[in-house]
Amino acid sequence: METIGQDLREMIRTPLATSHVEALRAAGKVVTHPKGTIMAQPGEKANRFVYVEEGEIEVVNPFTGERQYASTIGANQFMGEISLLYGGTASLSLRTVVDTRVIEVAREVFLTLMSQIPEMSDIIITVFSARRRRQLEERRSGLYLIGEEADRNVRRIAEFASRNRLPYTSVPLDSPEAAASAKSCSIDTRTPAVIFGSKIPITDATPDKIARLLGLNIDFSGDEHFDVLIVGGGPAGVAAAVYAGAEGLCALLVEDIALGGQAGTSSRIENYMGFPTGISGADLLWRGEVQAMKFGARFAMPRRVTGLEVQESGAFCAIFENGQRVRAGAIVVASGVQYRRLPLERLVDFEGSGVYYSATDMEARYCKDTEVVIIGGGNSAGQAAMFLSRYARCVRLLVRGASLAASMSSYLSSRLEADRGITIEYNCEVTALEGEEHLEGLTIRNTETGQSRKVVTQALFIMVGAAPNTEWLSGLVKLDDKGFVITGLDSPGSPFATSHPGIFAVGDVRAGSVKRVASAVGEGSVVISKVWEHVNLKATDRRNEHIDGTSRLDRGA
């Protein structure tokens, strides 16, 4: 299956060309750092690009100060990873091994150079992506989680980091690593904890606090004005961000939970053109995010838009859940759909502690060698069953109807039937959940016979369809009777225009859309030409008003 970036160890490194190095030198300054200089610390703003001309830089363990990787950054190589593109923070400690001469270029200047020299940008982004991939795979980073398996709050941070492709280190509560790091931060060795940097335990860690520490651009003063605000970071929103950036629009994408949307929770997308061996949704969307960042689009997450207002000028003001606001000339609604929950007693108690709505690598780890129950008869449930059967002892798929024919693609249902690790039960529903802190079992009722029985399980996946995320639109656009956004009615020029000029809708949230990754990406891509027209029309109107106003003043009006 296709994966993000290349493997750093197998990669044939393409050095920067002499002309690239000259451009960096002309834009930055040459500095010699003595042996033992700390060049970056976890949590420190990634505000400069560093190219090594002579010398060596190593990655060090923030707790012990010892070298962490055998390989180092030598002459003709450079420091940094993807966080430099979005102005985030460093995630590793770096230190010079010997006196080291480097070229340092301020981030903003570096980004301008990247847009001017695409060949240099390709080389650097390839290495940055491969480094992020290695950090994700090796689970090494300045974000350190102790006791993910035992604590719901720590697990929430793990979920946020994992779904957003932010590297983190996770160690079990009673492990020697946990004891050593807890001791170095002077905290109780048996308490679950989130540590950032080397010695800062974070009390009451939330995804918001972590995003702030990682520098994920989530604060707004209210004065910012964007050409376009894209709400939702699924395939439709990320595609819109790529095209908006490429067309030179000043774009902000706001995402509530994790970039990737529903697609980000799919372990294997097999029907997206260009990836014959399949690609995980998270990888696909991460590629899109990097591409959009390269074109200058900004991302803010976790941030939820809760309301939308129209200003006198016709521009929009979006309100976030924390009360902050941003203004934009146009809105792309790409907020998709969210999973339906089931009316089960104690469901809330077990959400995140045995009850899950997506099946990613993270949930798969929690299900290792256990019995897993999945509710649902659609493609999402089928894909989850195939994926989890690789980790779980056995998978039980519960279907409300009498067959899968009407709800699941036939290639998938025949694979499920052929998989000996998967049992499919028809005409049944879950009626009760049991457990103390964590789910321990559930009751299944056969709707034909009326008989109930108990099953011991620590993992229940609920995948029973979805409802559109449109409540934040504040009644500004027409919705159909199920809450999906109606488009193309009042403005025949664009199939994605809503009933309100300047608001466009794409992807799953749009009434009548085909609920697939490819169509969401397609719609997100093509809508930008209409957004561009709208923004430019408004700018021309403003210029004309200004000229009219000036001439009136000149005439003494």
Ligand X SMILES: Cc1cc2nc3c(=O)[nH]c(=O)nc-3n(C[C@H](O)[C@H](O)[C@H](O)COP(=O)(O)OP(=O)(O)OC[C@H]3O[C@@H](n4cnc5c(N)ncnc54)[C@H](O)[C@@H]3O)c2cc1C
Binding site for ligand X (CB under 6 A): 231-237, 254-257, 261-263, 265-266, 269-271, 304-305, 334-337, 379-380, 383, 469, 472, 507-509, 515-518, 520
Residue with tokens 């659609």: 378
Most distant CA pair in the chain, distance? 88
| Both structure tokens of 126 | 């390839």
Closest CA to 165 of 280, 43, 78: 280
Closer by beta carbon to ligand X, 146 or else 161: 161
We find the least distance from the C-beta atom of residue 357 to ligand X, in angstroms, to be 9
32 in Cβ contact with 56 (< 8 Å): no
Q: Give the SS3 label for residue 289.
A: helix
Shortest Å, Cβ 289 to ligand X: 12
Q: How many residues does the chain have?
A: 557
List the one residue out of 94, 105, 97 whose CA is nearest residue 31: 105
CA separation, residue 197 to residues 36, 39, 185, 282 (Å)? 18, 14, 10, 26
Question: What are the phi and psi torsion angles at 429 (to 5°)?
Answer: -145, 155
What is the closest distance, in whole angstroms, from the C-beta atom of residue 83 to ligand X in the complex?
21
Whose Cβ is closer to ligand X: residue 235's or residue 354's? 235
In this structure, what are the phi and psi dihedrals at residue 249, rounded to the nearest 5 degrees?
A: -80, 145
Q: What angle do CA 306, 307, 309 make, to 5 degrees?
A: 160
User: Closest separation between CB of residue 174 and ligand X, Å?
Assistant: 34
Q: Give the integer Cα–Cα distance in Å for 512 and 479.
A: 11
Which residue, 198 or 262, has its beta carbon nearer to ligand X?
Answer: 262
Decide whether 235 or 296 has the Cβ nearer to ligand X: 235
- Of 458 and 469, the one with the shorter C-beta distance to ligand X is 469
Q: Which is nearer to ligand X, 99 or 270 (CB)?
A: 270
In whole angstroms, the minimum distance from the beta carbon of 255 to ligand X comes to 5
Please state the closest distance from residue 521 (CB atom) to ligand X, in A.
8
- DSSP characters over 150-183: T-HHHHHHHHHHHHTT---EEE-TTSHHHHHHHH
Residue 232 Cβ, how far from ligand X at the closest point, in Å?
3
| Residue 5 or 234 having the CB closest to ligand X | 234
3-class DSSP string for 252-307:
EEECCCCCCCCHHHCCCECCCCCCCCCECHHHHHHHHHHHHHHCCCEEECCCCEEE
Spatial contact of 154 and 146, defined as CB atoms under 8 Å apart: yes
| Token output for 205 | 């860690």
Q: How far is the CB of 234 from ligand X (least distance, A)?
A: 2
Q: Where are the alpha helices (DSSP H) in 185-234?
A: 207-213
Least distance from ligand X to the Cβ atom of residue 461, Å: 10
